[in-house]
Amino acid sequence: MLEPVGLTDIETDAYRALVLAVSASVTDVSAATGTDAEAARRLLAALEEKGLARAVEGAPGRFVANPPDVTLLPRLERRAGDLDKARAVISELMEAYRHHAWARDAGEVVEIITGAGALRQRLQQIQSSARRELLWFCKAQYVAMPSGTNQAEFEAMAEGVAYRVLYEQAFFDDAGAVDNVVRAVRAGEVARAVPALPLRMAIADRCLAICPLAPAGPAGDPRDVTAAVIRGSSLLGALVALFERYWEIGVPLHVTPEGRLGGSGAQADPTALTADDRHLLSLMVAGLTDQAIAGQLGISRRTVQRRIQGLMSLAGVATRMQLGWHAARRNWI
């Protein structure tokens, strides 16, 4: 309760009893705190020593509380100042730690963790400790954390941590993946899609990265899962640069007012195409496979392919890439 300003729980109870009363005796404090008379007397003496209580003149044995804003707030402000100084020292130490990372033993720069449980725990830890941003590469087929189970992301975003997430095209084929991305984007995640990603990765505040080393998904014994934890170094700098490079070429994802996932936020010409056509185009440009698009639209994969061919004919182009470029240029999506 008031431990940060130097009061124990029982002292806090005694002080509260004084605040609520015009004046209080040892007997009153004893009844309010559930202690015997001798313990109540010691409590009042401790509060008086700390400047929180004073004896009533002309009324022996009775005490009143000194105002909280006079007695407690200055203590709290001093404590806050001490915490700010400690935080500044820690930041200075972290900067020195990163600056001299090149001179540290390789075992201190790269740590190997094993087991899906250990990887999941470390991912949750770095999200809880992040203060500014999380950068993610999300490949298809989870290794340790199934899509939709990362509650730590929503807790971190609620605390003001920015999330930028890149999804590869095949990610959206996983069951429930599209709905999970919609939920995350609505909560504040900034998402983009690319055709493929070279690895799985999470980077916290640009000072620590985790890279699962499994080439595929969760097949096999979860105890065999390994991951590298990479701290301040040129390797970490390269991973940040890799993320930014893929981010530049990614297609922004947004959620429509109807709750659908799509790529690009441009407004469409309502006379150019039907709403379903525009939705299909936005999913295609976002990188979803035909099967994933079919699942979103509730139609067959063959129908998706047929409609895309029809849109290619309408645009007068020969490839899907040309269709995406044409759609963006004509403001179809």
Kindly state whether residue 256 falls inside one of the protein's structural domains. Answer: no
Residue type, 89: V
pLDDT in tens, 97-115: 666 655 555 556 788 888 8
For the record, the structure tokens of 117 come out as: 């449980």
What are the residue ranges in the chain where pLDDT is below 50? 265-271
The predicted pLDDT at position 62 comes to 87
Nearest in space to 183 (alpha carbons), one of 146, 148, 141, 133 = 148
Neighbours of 51 (CB within 10 A): 13
Nearest in space to 111 (alpha carbons), one of 213, 197, 205 = 213
State the DSSP code for 1.
Answer: -
Phi, psi of 113 (to 5 degrees): -115, 150
Cβ atoms of residues 44 and 26 within 8 Å: yes
The predicted pLDDT at position 266 comes to 41
Q: Are residues 122 and 86 in the same domain?
A: no
Kindly state whether residue 275 falls inside one of the protein's structural domains. Answer: yes
Q: Are residues 10 and 83 in the same domain?
A: yes
Cβ atoms of residues 2 and 72 within 8 Å: yes
What is this structure's pTM?
0.53
Q: Which residue range forms the structural domain that includes residue 32?
A: 1-99
State the DSSP code for 115.
Answer: S
The predicted pLDDT at position 215 comes to 57
The predicted pLDDT at position 3 comes to 65
Number of domains in the chain: 3
Q: Are residues 33 and 69 in the same domain?
A: yes
Share of the chain above pLDDT 70, in %: 87
Q: Are residues 225 and 289 in the same domain?
A: no
Q: Are residues 172 and 235 in the same domain?
A: yes
Share of the chain above pLDDT 90, in %: 17
The predicted pLDDT at position 105 comes to 57
The predicted pLDDT at position 270 comes to 41
Q: Are residues 171 and 297 in the same domain?
A: no
CATH number of the domain residue 290 falls in: 1.10.10.10
Which of 99, 126, 155 finishes a domain? 99
The phi-psi region of residue 41 (left if phi > 0; otherwise alpha if psi is between -120 and 50; otherwise beta) is alpha
The predicted pLDDT at position 56 comes to 82
What DSSP letter does each residue of 260-316 carry, written as one string?
-EEE--PPP-TTTS-HHHHHHHHHHHHT--HHHHHHHHTS-HHHHHHHHHHHHHHHT
Neighbours of 254 (CB within 10 A): 17
The predicted pLDDT at position 267 comes to 41
Residue type, 250: G
The predicted pLDDT at position 223 comes to 66
Cα(49)–Cα(28) distance, rounded to whole angstroms?
19
Q: Are residues 56 and 117 in the same domain?
A: no
The predicted pLDDT at position 136 comes to 93
